């Protein structure tokens, strides 16, 4: 596996592959990799001849009181995992390579990023869409793989690709989970042992929501209130729990056919997010 640190080097290598008629997939990450990231690499290999992964802790998607400085940076371990998973190129740029000076240009996908995680993390999705736009220009991929755990991020990237006419196929990959249902996340390492024992309740409550909805529950507000209160009794501080239209990310109605139930909740200092798909079958 090649490891490159500059934009020019990555562009030159990718363009050489493309000149040889090869198809390229990319897997953008912030590192501290777990099995969910490696699943993205596996899916990317199914869609392309060459896989480019990035490891870059993007400062512009962190708020002033968030964990940018303490976010785990494990590049050497990440490099070993990516190589073992069959990645062909690792792009690991320093911050000054991606942001060589004060930025005056941003990519902001309106509306989709204004609520859910965007409401409590102002500017977060502007940072995400901007850095992904940069990575797409650098890597020039045919395919890009993203996990469905960050479902709002996935929807925003898909809309950015559509609106800005990127020739990139965006592939959403189902969430990888621990054996007890907890969605894999680089931030799970922040949990204390006692918190880790409680954390699977996030997924358990999503399953309750799915069961209620597929059984015909139409009182969405009441269901959300009951589940939010239940999470609170388990020690969570609920940021949001929403039954939403899976495409528009607006509150779902009883007529909605594709639904995602999404939740963000804090357990101590750790913010956990998760979501689940709900298919409503009607006559």
Annotated catalytic residues are: 37
């990799």: which residue's tokens?
33
**Bridge pairing between strands 258-267 and 270-279:** antiparallel
Cβ–Cβ under 8 Å, residues 275 and 205 = no
Cβ–Cβ under 8 Å, residues 49 and 143 = no
Beta-carbon neighbour count of residue 73 at 10 Å? Answer: 13
Angle (CA) 46 48 53, round 5°: 95
Cβ–Cβ under 8 Å, residues 34 and 184 = yes
Cβ–Cβ under 8 Å, residues 204 and 195 = no
Beta-carbon neighbour count of residue 156 at 10 Å? Answer: 24
Q: Virtual CA dihedral for 31, 33, 39, 41, nearest 10 degrees?
A: 40
Helix, strand, coil shares of the chain, percent, nearest 5, are: 40, 20, 35
């Amino acid at each position: 596996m090649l490891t490159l640190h500059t934009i020019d080097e990555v562009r030159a290598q990718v363009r050489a592959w493309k000149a040889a008629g090869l198809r390229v997939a990319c897997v953008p990450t912030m590192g501290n990799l777990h099995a969910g990231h490696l699943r993205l690499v596996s899916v990317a290999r199914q869609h392309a001849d060459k896989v480019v992964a990035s490891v870059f802790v993007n400062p512009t998607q962190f708020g002033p009181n968030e964990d940018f400085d303490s976010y785990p940076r494990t590049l050497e371990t990440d490099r070993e995992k990516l190589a073992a998973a069959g990645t062909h190129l690792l792009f690991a740029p320093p911050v000054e390579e991606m942001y060589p000076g004060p930025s005056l240009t941003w990519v902001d996908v309106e509306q989709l990023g204004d609520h859910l995680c965007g409401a409590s993390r102002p500017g977060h999705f502007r940072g995400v869409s901007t850095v992904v736009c940069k990575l797409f220009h650098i890597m020039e991929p045919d395919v890009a793989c993203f996990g469905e755990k960050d479902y709002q991020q996935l929807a925003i990237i898909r809309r950015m690709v559509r609106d800005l006419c990127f020739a990139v196929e965006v592939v959403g990959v189902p969430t990888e989970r621990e054996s007890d249902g907890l969605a894999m996340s680089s931030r799970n390492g922040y949990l204390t042992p006692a918190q880790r024992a409680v954390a699977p309740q996030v997924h358990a409550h999503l399953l309750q929501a799915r069961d209620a909805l597929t059984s015909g529950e139409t009182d969405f507000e009441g269901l959300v209130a009951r589940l939010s209160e239940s999470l609170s009794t388990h020690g969570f501080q609920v940021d949001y729990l929403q039954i939403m239209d899976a495409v528009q990310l607006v509150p779902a109605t009883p007529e909605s056919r594709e639904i995602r139930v999404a939740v963000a909740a804090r357990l101590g200092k750790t913010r956990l997010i998760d979501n689940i798909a709900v298919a409503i079958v009607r006559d």
